[in-house]
Amino acid sequence: MTSPLLPSPADTLTALQAIVGADACRTEPDDVAGFVTDYRGLYRGSAHVVVLPADTDQVSRVMAWCHEHGVPVVPQGGNTSLMGGAVPDDTGTAVLVNLRRLNRVLAVDTTNDTLTVQAGVTLHGARMAAEQAGRLFPLRIGSEGSCQIGGNLATNAGGTAVLRYGNMRDLVLGLEAVLPDGRVFSSLRGLRKDNTGYDLKQLFVGSEGTLGIITAAVLKLMPQPRATAVAFVAVADPAAAVALLGLAKARSGQAVTAFELISGTALRLVLDYLGDVASPLAGTPGWMVLIELSGGDDSLQQTLVDVLEAGMEDGLVQDAAIAASLSDAERFWRIREEISDAQTRTGGSIKCDVSVPLSRIADFIAEATRQTLAIEPHARMVIYGHMGDGNVHFNPLRPADVPGKEFLARSYAAISHAVDGLAHAEHGSVSAEHGIGVAKRDDLLLYKSAVELDMMRAIKAALDPQGLLNPGKLLPPA
């Protein structure tokens, strides 16, 4: 359906073709389908044209035209959002702007330790560019081959190395973004100190494409660690895992790079899904952690052994496998990183992505489990995540004999509200790293204060008074 106030689809197409070229405008249903559906197939919308601009100038001209004619715009990177943040609604009125052609590495400066890339460079591409220069770009998430730097910034992506290096917000020094009216905010500076007022670039980080379209960024590079040590460790329960993390930090300081919790149910699910991968540990422990230490110290492996021995003496560690080779380490990590896809393939997963203070995480997991099982006694408790950051992916999965749709229809709301409510009561977050999109948009009314919502709306109104950019995402209707 097209609003009578909007230009006709034919006029829109003609105008956009004049800016980006006919080849870079897609309208055929088969060509558009992959852009208007998220990769899990949970969010389906429509767009009357998908445009693939080649550079910032084209993005700017597309935005200026859409602004002038009141046409909504949905920006999209690798379309890996779990929250429906990168697909349009089903009105078919939006122009979808996909950034994949802005895929150039613009500069690598190994003196300044910065990497300047266009927004459509994949995370894998950015990591490879850093590696080729003898540096590390440390953001690490499972979808690195598909997700793009612009989307990583727009959603303030986290992942498995946040404990050591921070979220995307901590890894950006400069930014270029096209504003809703087509003007270009250009701050592609590689400065670690710039105390000249509001940090405007950070407004766009985590804004989920509602304030501007990120087109390029200057990212921080780190030294490549000379050594890495990885272990898969069985622990009695989440409280033991928290205590082991304290021990690992005390013994190895900055070297703790990742500390991932994995429930026995999550391990079983992923091993069944992968089929050809052996468990690192005998049997199926109830709880495990994947620990990675990294740094410049060749004795790191010994440090990890010391941590685990001390953990055994303290009764925290029940069993452990230390990676003896790179391929062992890769296998351990593969098991961790495939949990997400194992759930997607099974279907019927209630994805709660919460964070609470580390001191509260064990009690939180126990109580959230109790409340979930009171609602769905046979739910499979797929619980895992970045425990080192206090971030739990608390993802109850449908019982084996209940179809996913039925499970979600009857229990999604009750379970997600129970879990999110508990996290909120612990002064935690109901979206630690996945963002808001459409999935959690209305929940913000429950978990953000009136002052916070007013401030968010005021910023949106200042930059996008017509509400044309990524409409319906992130901000709940007033």
Contacts with ligand MLT, residue ranges (CB under 6 A):
82, 142, 339-340, 351, 393
By C-beta, is 24 or 273 nearer to ligand MLT?
A: 273
Instruction: Please name which of 168, 158, 20, 3 lies closest in space to residue 94, comparing C-alpha atoms.
Output: 3
Sign of CA dihedral 194, 200, 201, 206: positive
Contact 263, 212 (CB under 8 A): no
By C-beta, is 142 or 212 nearer to ligand MLT?
A: 142
* In the complex, minimum distance from the CB of residue 230 to ligand MLT, in angstroms, rounded to a whole number: 17
By C-beta, is 125 or 142 nearer to ligand MLT?
A: 142
Give the CB-side neighbour count of residue 221, counting CA atoms within 13 A. Answer: 25
By C-beta, is 81 or 116 nearer to ligand MLT?
A: 81
User: Cα(51)–Cα(68) distance, rounded to whole angstroms?
Assistant: 17
CA distances from 211 to 36, 51, 123, 183, 449 (A): 20, 19, 22, 12, 21
Please report the DSSP string for 414-431 in residue order.
HHHHHHHHHHHHTT-BSB
* Tokens found for residue 450: 């009136």
From the CA atom positions of the chain, what is the Rg in Å? 23
* In the complex, minimum distance from the CB of residue 265 to ligand MLT, in angstroms, rounded to a whole number: 14
Burial of 10 (C-beta count, 10 Å sphere; 0-12/13-18/19+): exposed
* In the complex, minimum distance from the CB of residue 436 to ligand MLT, in angstroms, rounded to a whole number: 15
* In the complex, minimum distance from the CB of residue 353 to ligand MLT, in angstroms, rounded to a whole number: 7
The amino acid occupying position 146 is S
User: Cα(201)–Cα(217) distance, rounded to whole angstroms?
Assistant: 10
By C-beta, is 73 or 342 nearer to ligand MLT?
A: 342
* In the complex, minimum distance from the CB of residue 43 to ligand MLT, in angstroms, rounded to a whole number: 15
User: Cα(152)–Cα(154) distance, rounded to whole angstroms?
Assistant: 6
By C-beta, is 113 or 389 nearer to ligand MLT?
A: 389
User: Cα(459)–Cα(181) distance, rounded to whole angstroms?
Assistant: 15
* In the complex, minimum distance from the CB of residue 60 to ligand MLT, in angstroms, rounded to a whole number: 32
By C-beta, is 56 or 340 nearer to ligand MLT?
A: 340
* In the complex, minimum distance from the CB of residue 413 to ligand MLT, in angstroms, rounded to a whole number: 19
Q: Which residue is nearest to ligand MLT (CB)?
A: 340
